[in-house]
């Protein structure tokens, strides 16, 4: 039976590229065939797994330029049963797509807010008076570009091919080494891997309240690769902390750390133990 | 001479409301008159102070629902000379504005991405098929609503009055107690106040690298009210940490902590020592 994989659509998004890369990985390493399910938002992509409409979801979690994809973190915290089973890193390339051959005539640029943010210096320099319109994905505007010669979209070179829209400018991102980390999410727990992601809220805001949980890991030599705070949405100044660790749930030092951690937290959610898939170029 | 204050415009934005509240505070407490300068983006608002085009800027830093305003943090880190001199908290109310009296006929909803995000559950329930368009501010679309009866905008009740657009639905935010924290930024250092904000990068990613800086404050009983990580934009997994503390630069324990902190950080920037303005209702 084919594995069904939800991702942010429509076709041509970076999330779809990540889902295809993961489907190829499944074919090579697990001899599994996959079928993709594009979704209209990241929240609905994750909901599809929680509601068992699909087996897996591939969702962006962090970009090297713009930081955390907060919708992913917030939804993962809200949904009870989702687990991260793998991760992958995808290089990102931004191009300006338009049916107009002259940059001077572009009045509006459409893209996902993260893509607009990652090209803001280029846009300020080369299209200072263009209207920037943030939309649901990097490809949502592409079907309309043929009818609007004053419009352009920031999208991937792959989307340019798929939608048959010419690339007006290549590599318009403000920083090199642009890449996005994706999580592969399932409703089945995975207890083996080199990376561990979790989140917790703290009972109250006292001096050192956050230091104690962090010390638990530092004392055992467990490396914390990321910490991110998100609002609880109840009160300004109350946070949920999202933490990525290097550790395996099969090791007693890790399980001991998590047991100790639960004494200091109000709510603690372990999102899963996972490895990064190594992607090849084909 | 009047104090010039930059803020995210155009007229009717929550940033303008915050700037007016601060201007009123200046009048009451310092007998100073102020003049407002609306800017097209948060980055340009901060740049105006750095380039000495204005005396002050009022910028949003954190919302209780959507979290940090990352543009503000990133720009403050990039600009060398800006200092936070005061802070204020503004309650936020979202209304749906339209010249159409029927919710059923609304096909497009315009607003700032933070406002769209703060009303996403309401929108999914009452306008599930509407196109959501993220724009520069909560008020940018208001001048066009009179010509487009299928369009609505999420904006404040105050903006509805200013632009003479009827309110179709009141209080459409997904959470109560919605408020936004603003910083008042100047190019002049302030070394006195109850709150202290700073940011630092760390030399490399080793176990406990972040714990040491945090322990410095915990050991001295200095409360950390917020920690936020932002990407360095160089490499995935490299971060700048933004920290808010309760402390006064006049106290030796605070200056000693900062001296110790500088031994562990790669770059350390102290954004300022400040108090919160108490706003009245008029």
pLDDT tens-digit readout, A45-87: 999 999 999 999 999 999 998 899 999 999 999 998 899 999 9
Closest CA to A7 of A49, A32, A34, A36: A36
pLDDT at A219: 87
- Which of B121, B211, B224, B245 should we substitute to test contact with A (largest number of A Cβ atoms within 10 Å)? B211
CA angle B111, B117, B123 (to 5 degrees): 80
- Please, where are the H alpha helices in chain B? 14-30, 42-50, 70-78, 113-118, 120-126, 157-163, 211-219, 252-261
The secondary element (H helix, E strand) that includes residue A115 is helix A113-118
Residue A282 has pLDDT above 70, yes or no: no
CA A175 from centroid of its chain's CA atoms: 18
> CB distance A225–B231 less than 8 Å?
no
C-alpha B6/C-alpha B49 separation (Å) is: 8
A204 to chain B: nearest residue by CA?
B225
Residue of A nearest to B218 (CA): A208
Q: Which residue of B lies nearest to A243 if distances are taken between CA atoms?
A: B229
| Domains B3-91+178-186 and B195-272 in one fold | no
Structure tokens that stand for B54 in this block: 């204005």
**CA dist., res. A112 & res. A155, Å (int):** 9
pLDDT at B219: 87
Q: In a mutagenesis test of the B interface, which of A124, A154, A222, A237 is the best target, namely the one with the most B β-carbons within 10 Å?
A: A237
In angstroms, rounded to a whole number, what is the distance separating the alpha carbons of residues B138 and B160? 11
The CATH code for residues B195-272 is 3.30.70.260
> What predicted TM-score, i.e. pTM, was given to this entire model?
0.88
**What CATH superfamily is the domain B3-91+178-186?**
Periplasmic binding protein-like II (3.40.190.10)
A117, containing H or E segment = helix A113-118
Q: Are B225 and A215 within 8 A, CB to CB? A: no
Nearest CB to A227 within list B117, B218, B229: B229
Q: What's the Cα-to-Cα distance from A210 to each of A80, A197, A237, B216, B256, rounded to whole Å? A: 24, 17, 13, 13, 21
Per-domain boundaries in chain A: 3-90+178-186, 95-169, 195-273
- From first to last of the 282 residues of chain B, give the pLDDT tens digit: 899 999 998 899 999 999 999 999 999 999 999 999 999 889 899 999 999 999 999 999 999 988 999 999 999 999 988 999 999 999 999 999 999 999 999 999 999 888 998 898 899 999 998 988 877 789 988 999 999 999 999 999 999 999 999 999 999 999 888 999 999 999 998 889 999 999 999 887 555 678 888 889 888 888 888 889 999 888 888 899 999 999 999 999 999 999 999 999 999 999 999 999 988 754
How many contacts, defined by CB atoms under 8 Å, are there between A and B?
127
Q: What is the mean pLDDT of chain A?
A: 91
Residues B229, A67: C-beta atoms closer than 8 Å: yes
The rounded distance, in Å, linking the Cα atoms of A271 and A190 is: 9
In this complex, do B214 and A217 lie within 8 Å of one another by their Cβ atoms?
Answer: no
The answer as to CATH 3.30.70.260 being correct for domain A195-273 is yes
Query: Which has more confidence, A223 or B58?
Result: B58
Kindly identify which residue of chain A lies nearest to residue B91, measuring between CA atoms: A236
Question: Contact A229/B226, CB-based, under 8 Å?
Answer: yes
Residue whose entry in the numeric block shows the structure tokens 């300004």? A236
Share of chain A above pLDDT 90, in %: 70
User: 3.40.50.300, 3.30.260.10, 1.10.3720.10, 3.40.190.10: which CATH number matches A3-90+178-186?
Assistant: 3.40.190.10
Q: Do B70 and A67 touch (CB under 8 A)?
A: yes
Q: What pLDDT is recorded for position A206?
A: 57
Residues of B in contact with A133 (CB under 8 A): 133-135
Distance from CA of A74 to the nearest CA of B (A): 9
Residues B157-185 as b/e (b if ≥16 CB within 10 A, e otherwise) read ebbbebbebebbbeebbbeeebebbbbbb
Cα dihedral A218, A222, A225, A228, rounded to 10, equals: -60
Task: Indicate the range of A25-39, A203-217, A239-253, B129-143 predicted with least confidence.
Answer: A203-217
Sign of CA dihedral A194, A197, A203, A208: positive
Tell me which chain B residues have a C-beta less than 8 angstroms from the C-beta of A66: 70, 231
Distance of alpha carbon B230 from alpha carbon B242, whole angstroms = 8
Q: Measured between CB atoms, which of A63, A133, A177 is closest to B133? A: A133
Q: How far is B227 from chain A (nearest CA, A)?
A: 7
Q: If we measure between CA atoms, which residue out of A271, A226, A231, A192 comes closest to residue A63? A: A226
A210 → closest Cβ in B221, B224, B236: B224
Looking at CA atoms only, how far is residue A165 from chain B in angstroms?
22
Could you tell me which of A175, A88, A119 has the C-alpha nearest to residue B233? A175
> Is the alpha carbon torsion for B84, B88, B89, B95 positive or negative?
negative
The verdict on a CB contact (< 8 Å) between B132 and A136 is: yes
Let me know: does B88 contact B7? Beta carbons within 8 Å. no
Q: Give mean pLDDT, residues A86-109.
A: 95
Task: Give the tens place of pLDDT for each residue, A133-152.
Answer: 877 789 988 999 999 999 99
pLDDT at position A207 is: 54
Interface touch B89/A206, C-beta < 8 Å: no
ipTM of the complex: 0.84
Question: Are the CB atoms for A52 and A193 separated by under 8 Å?
Answer: no
Give the distance from residue A203's alpha carbon to the nearest chain B alpha carbon, in angstroms.
14
The closest CB to that of B230, out of A67, A134, A217, belongs to A67
Q: How far apart (Å, rounded) are the C-alpha atoms in residues B135 and B168?
A: 20
Pick from B6, B183, B189: nearest CA to B83? B189
Q: How far is A219 from chain B (nearest CA, A)?
A: 8
Domain topology for A95-169:
D-Maltodextrin-Binding Protein; domain 2 (3.40.190)
User: Whose structure tokens read 């509601």?
Assistant: A51
Nearest CA in chain B to A206: B223
- Contact yes or no for B235 and A65 at CB 8 A: no
User: What backbone torsions phi and psi does residue A126 show, to the nearest 5 degrees?
Assistant: -100, -20
């Amino acid at each position: 039976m084919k594995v069904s994989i939800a991702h942010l659509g429509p076709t041509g998004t970076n999330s779809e590229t990540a889902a295809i890369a993961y489907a190829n990985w499944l074919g090579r390493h697990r001899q599994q065939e996959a079928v993709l399910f594009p979704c209209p938002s990241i929240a609905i992509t994750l909901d599809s797994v929680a509601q068992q409409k699909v087996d897996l979801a591939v969702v962006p979690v962090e970009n090297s330029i713009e930081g955390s994809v907060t919708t992913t973190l917030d939804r993962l915290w809200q949904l009870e049963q989702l687990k991260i089973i793998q991760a992958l890193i995808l290089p990102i390339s931004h191009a300006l797509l338009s049916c107009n051959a002259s940059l001077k005539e572009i009045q509006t640029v459409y893209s996902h807010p993260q893509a607009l943010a990652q090209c803001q210096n280029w846009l300020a320099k080369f299209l200072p008076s263009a209207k920037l319109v943030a939309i649901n994905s990097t490809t949502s505007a592409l079907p309309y570009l043929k009818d609007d010669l004053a419009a352009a979209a920031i999208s991937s070179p792959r989307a340019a091919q798929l939608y048959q829209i010419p690339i007006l400018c290549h590599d318009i991102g403000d920083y090199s080494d642009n890449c996005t980390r994706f999580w592969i999410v399932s409703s089945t727990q995975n207890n083996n891997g080199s990376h561990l992601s979790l989140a917790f809220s703290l009972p109250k805001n006292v001096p050192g309240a956050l230091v104690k949980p962090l010390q638990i890991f530092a004392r055992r030599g467990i490396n914390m690769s990321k910490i991110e705070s998100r609002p609880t949405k109840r009160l300004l100044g109350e946070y949920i902390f999202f933490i990525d660790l290097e550790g395996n749930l099969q090791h007693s030092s890790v399980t001991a750390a998590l047991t100790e951690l639960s004494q200091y937290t109000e709510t603690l959610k372990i999102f899963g133990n996972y490895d990064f898939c190594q992607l090849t170029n084909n």
